Structure 1
Amino acid sequence: MADRVLGGRYQVLDKVGTGGMATVYRGMDQVLGRTVAIKTMLPQYATDPSFAARFKQEAQAAAALNSPYIVSVYDWGKDGDTYYIIMEYLRGTDLKSGIRKHGALDCKKVAQIGSQIAQALSVAHNHDIIHRDIKPQNIMVQPDGNIKVMDFGIARAKNSHLTTDNSVLGTAHYVSPEQTQGKPLGPTTDLYSLGIVMYEAATGRVPFDGDNAVTVAMKQVTEQPVPPSQINPNVDPQLEAIILKCMQKDPKDRFQTADELYHTLHDYLSGRMQAVNNATAMLPATPTTPLSRGNGSTQSLPRTQSTGRMRPQSATEQAAQEEEERQKKQKRNRVLAIVGAIAGIVVVALIIASVLGSGSKAYSVPNLLGLTQDDAQAQLDSDGHGFQIGNVSEQYSPSVEEGKIIEQTPGAGRTATEGSSIDIVVSKGEEPAASVTVPDLTNCTPSEAQDLLNKYGLKGQAGDSVYNADVEVGHVAEQEPAAETSAKAGDTITYHLSQGAEQVSVPNVVGESQSSATSTLQSAGFEVSVTQSSSPSVEKGNVISTNPSAGTSADKGSTVTITVSTGPSSVSVPNVLGYDESSAESALKNAGFGVTVTTEASSTVAKGKVISQSATSATSGSTITIVVSSGSGSSNSGTNNGSNSNGNSSTNNGGTNSGNGEGTNTGSTTSGT
C-alpha cells in the first residue's frame, strides 16, 4: 500500500495503526500539499455491502460534524477495490495510552477532557448522530492538551436504515446498560460511556472488569461502581457526583443532554460548586446491588445529601451518626411541641376573643391559589361567608402563570371571621432576564469564547465553520447575534470558527479577450490585475497567460494577473544593401523574415547587388522585398548595357545594339535575336 496514490491525489506514506475493520496510514494530499490520515477498509470487508455501507456512512456522518473537538473528515472515495476516508492528521497520543503511562489524572484535567468530549457530543447529537463507541482509545490528546473525538465507524444517525445489531458494537468496558441489552439508544448512552471514561481518567482503572466481554457487559447492567474517591482519595466530591450521575443505570437519571453535562463540568472548573451540587442532587440514595468490600468489586454505600456523592462509612461511624441524629431529632421534637402548643393557645384565644367581641361566626378560608383575582372573588362570593379580596400585590414567579394567585393571607384552611379580607399576591410571570451587551468573540479560541460568554451570563455553541482569510484557523470568525447588540442573560450565542481562506481553482481564460477574462475571474471570486506583452501568435487584446496559472488553487479574493497581447512586436531588419542577391536572401531568412526579389537597372550598383530593401524594421515573420540591380542601362565601352546576354544584336525603336556590345542603344531592349 505504501507509495500508492489513491484517487489520483492522496499518496500513502506509512502505516499508523490497524483497527477492527480498517487500517490507518499517514499520507500526503498532493494537491494541497498537506499531511493527512488515510483510513482504508480491510480487504476482507471491502466486498461485504453492509460493511461498505457503514464505511461510507462513517465518512458522511463525520463530515457533517464541525467542532474543534471532532477530527475533521476531508474526503472519501473508492480506488479500485479500496475504500478510503481522508481525515485530519492528528499528532499526540490516545487517552487510553496516556492513562496507562501516567495513571490517574488531576481532577481539573479530567473535567477539562470531559467538558471537551461533551461539547463534541453536543454537536453530534444536534445532528441526530449517536457515537455509540466513546472510549479513551477514541479520544486523541493533542500536544496542546486539547482533545479530538475520533472514529465514527459505528456511529449511526437516527434515520439510518442499516440493520446492524446494536447489542455489543462498542467495547464492553464502556457500553451503556441499554446498549448491552439491545434497547433503543439515545444521547444519554454516549453520556454513560463518557462517565466511564472520566471514571477511568480519575482513578486509573475501569469501573467494571472481568474475564470476558459478556461478564463485563452484565456488570454494566447489574452492578454499581465503586465510588471513584474510594480508589483515589484525591477525587473531589463534586467531580465524583458528576461521574456517578453520568453512570446511572436508568437513562432518565443521567444528564439528559451533552450540553447540560458540559455546563455542569464548566461550573465545576469555575468553582461554582453549589451549581454542581444542584445539578447532581437527584442521584439515588444507595446502589441497588450490595457487594463485599476490599476486592475492587462494587458495593452498597450511603450518600451525602448535599452533593449526591456516595461515600463509604465504617460501622462505628454509622452508629455514631445514627445516635447523633436520634438525639437531634428528640431535641427538635421537644422544641416544636412547645412552640406548637403556645401557637395553638394563642390562635384559640384570638378566635374566642374575635367571636365573643364581634358576635360574628368564623369560617375556614378557601384555597385561592392558582386562581385569577376575578375567579377568586367569584369563589368567595359563592361561598356566602362574606370574604373579600383585600390588598393585592404582585411579584415574579418562575413556576406560576402570570395573573394567577401565588400567595394568600390568611392561608387556605385557616379560620377567619365572616366578612374578613383576604390579601393576595398575584404572579407577574417569570422575571425577565437581565439585558446584556453581547461581547465580541472575533479571534477567540472556543474555550476563550466560552469563558467570555460566561462572564456576561450567556451560553455559547459552535455553529458551522466558515471561510475567512483574515482570521486564524480554529478561531472565531463570525457570531450571531453580532457583537455590541443586546441579548438576555441565558441566551445562546452561536459562533463560527474560521477555516482560513477558501481555496478556488483559477479558471482558464487564455485566448479570451481582456474584458471576458476579467469577468470570468471576478465571477470566480478573484481580483484582477493586467499586464501587457507582445505576442506573434496571440491576437492583440487577448490573454496570453495568467498568474497563478489556470487549474491551480488560490485563495478566494486574491489577485490573478492576466497578461494581454499587444500583437506581434517590431524587430530590426538586417541591412542588406550592396549584398549579392543570394547573400541578402540568406541574411533576411536567418533573421526570421520572408523575402521577395525584384530587379531594376542601375548605373551605380553592380549587377546582382541589392539596390534597396522595403523596410529597416518589421514584425518578425513578415516579408521583406529587395531590389537587385540588373546592370546599367547606358552605353559603356566593354560593358553589356542591354539586357541581352547572348551578344546578338537587336534593334528596338531605331536603336542599334552591335553584337560585340559596342553599339549604342537608344531604345528599350527587351530581347535579343
Structure 2
Amino acid sequence: MAEVTNALPVGELVGNNYEILGIAGAGGMGVVYRAWDAKLERTVALKFLPTLLNADVREREYFVLEARMASSLDHPNIGVIHGIEETADGRAFIVMGFYDGLSLAQRIAKAPLSTVEAVDVAIQIALGLCEAHAHQIVHRDIKPSNVMLTNSGSVKIVDFGLARLISAETATASGIVGSIKYVSPEQALGHRTDQRTDIWSLGVVLAEMLTGRNPFERGAIPAILVAILNEPPQSLDGLPIALQGIIYRALSKDAEKRYQHCSEMLADLQAARTELSNDSTNRKEATGRKTTHRSNDIRKYVEQASISTWSRAQKPRNRWLPLGLGLCGFVLLACLFLFPRVREQLFGSRIRVGEEHIAVLPFTNIGNNPENEALSEGLVDTLSGRLSNLDVGNKALWVIPASEIRRLKVMDPAAALKTLGANLVISGSIRRDGAAINLNLNLINTENLRLIGSVDVVDQAGDLAALQDEAVSRLAHLMDLPVSAEMLHNTGGSVVPAAYENYLTALGYMQRYDKAGNLDRAINLLGESIKTDPKFALGYGQLGEAYRIKYQLDKNQHWLDEAQGNLERAIQLDGSLPAAYVTLGRIHDVSGKRELALQEFQHALTLDPRNALAVRGLARAYERAGRVADAEAAYQKAVALKPDDWESYNLIGHFYDRQGGIPRRSRRCRERLR
C-alpha cells in the first residue's frame, strides 16, 4: 500500500483535465482515484499503475496494446475504458468509467450471496466474457475485486489487460496473492492460456459467491498453488446439484475437460436460473432418470476437478497423495526433486506428456587437449542456460542445472533418468582443428535410449557465440520448439570470437572455483577477454562475479571494489544484463547496504521476471533487513521459478531453520508421510 501513502491530494489536476476527488480503491495492481473530467463533465476512475511496473518499458507496451484492444469492447457487462494517458512525469494511468456501488469482493465479505443472486451475477460475468472472447481478448485475472456491482444492479468486469503485468517482482512487492487464488492450473504452470483460463476463474468466483470461501484457500502461496494443481476444490455439498455440476466442470484441472467456450457455461447458468426460479415441485430431483443422469455427470466432473495435474497421465499409486501434497506444499516438492526414487514410487517413471526434462551431459573433449576441458564445461553451462531461457509457449521445458549434473556425477542417459528424472539428454563432443571448432550434439530419449536426432555444427573461424546460436536453434527444432533471433541473442554487446572463447573457458573454471588456482585462471582469462573486446559487457559482468567470489573466500575489501568497478562498466555498456544487477545486489548486501541491494535485485527482476538468482538475493536481503514475511514469500517464489534446482530448496530450508522451524502445516505433513 506504499502507493496510497504517497496519494495524490484532493483537488490536484492530472493530465491537465482530471481533478482528483479522492481514492476509490487500491490494491496490488495500482491505485484507483475518483476524478472529475472537466472537459466532458463527468466522473471517471483513474487507475495508476505501480511505480515498479511503470519502469518496465516492454511490459508497458504490452499493457497499452491490450488496454487499447479492451477499450474497443462495447458491452453492458464490461467496464468502459475511455483512454490511456500519462502525467507530466511519465506515469501511466487509465481513464475508466466510474461506477457507484461495491466490488464483488466487498459484497462477498459481508455474507455469501443468495443462490439466485450469485447465478445472476455469474451470468452477467459470463456475458461480458463471451463478448471479450469473441474478440480474442482474454482477461486472465477474473476475481471478485475485478467485478463491480453497480447501484443500478448491473455487473461490470474491469481491469482488462492488467493481468499480463503480474510478474515475479510484483508477487511480493504488490501483494498479488489475491490473484493467485484464482489462477488456472495452466497459469500456475506458466503454460500458454486461452479463454478457458477465464472459465476456470469464473468457476472459482461462483463457488466463492455461494459458499463465502475460495475453494482453494490456503495459508501460503505454495500451498495455494499445490491445491490448484493437485487437490479437489472444497466440498460444495448443500448447493443445488445443477450448480455443483457447473462449478466442478469449470474447475477441471485439464483444460480439455473444462467448458471449451464461455457460451457453453452461460447456457448452463441460464438453465440453472430457470430451474431455480420454478416452484419446488418442478425442482424436485429425488427420483427419476434425470437425477440418475445428472448424478453420473456430477461424479465425472468431480473426478476431473480432483485429478492431480502432476499425475494426470496415470493414476497415483497412493490414494492419500493429493491430500499429502496439499499439506506439504513446497516441502514435498523438494523431496520429489531431491529423491527421484521416491518420485518414481509415487508417480511411476513416466513424465507427463508435454513436459521435457532435459539434462545437458558433460561433453567429450576429442583429442583430450587439457586446454579445452574448461572451455567444454563453460559450453555445457551456457548451452543449458540458453535452453532454459527459451520462451516455449505452452510446452513445459525444464533444463536441469549443469551444476547439479556435475554434483551428482551424472554421465550417461540411464543415470540421468534414474537420478534426475530427465526424459531427454543432450550428449556431445567438441573438437578443435586449428581455429575451426566442431560441436556434435545428440538428443536422446532416456526411457528407450532412442536417438531422436543429431546436430553437427562447425565454425571455421572459431566463433563460439555463433556456434552456440546455431546449436540451440537446431536442438529446438528437434524438440519442436519455436525460436527466434531475439531468444538467441544474449551475449551482451559486440563479441569478438576470441573474447567469447576466453569468457566460456573462464566460466568453466569458475564452476570449480574451489579447486586451487581455478578462480585466478578465470580472472586472468576474463581480463584477456575484455582486453580483446573492450565492449564485451558479459565479460565485465562475469569478471565482477569472479572478484565477488574471491572476496567471499578471503574477505579482502579490494576484491569488492574491483567487482563493483567491473559491474558498473558492464552496465554502462549494456544496461539489460540481469546478472550484473544480481551481483551488484549481492555486493551491497554483504556491505550492509540493504536498500541498495533491494533496488538492484528488483531492477534485475524488471529485466527478467523469472530470474531465480535475483529472487534468492531479494529473499536474503529481506531477511537481513528483518522483513521475514517478505523473505519467506521470496524464498517460496524462487522454488516455484526453478522447481528442478535443489539450491532453492536448500536456501528455504536454511531460512526455516534460522526462523525456528518450518511451518506447522508442513511439519504435520512430514509426520503423516512417515
Q: Which has the larger Rg?
A: 1
**TM-score tier after normalising by the smaller chain length:** 0.3 to 0.5
Tell me which protein shows more strand as a share of its residues.
1
Q: Greater RCO between the two (CA within 8 Å, min separation 6)?
A: 2
Write 1 or 2 for the structure with the bigger share of helix. 2
| TM-score, scaled relative to structure 2 | 0.39
**TM-score with structure 1 length normalisation?**
0.39
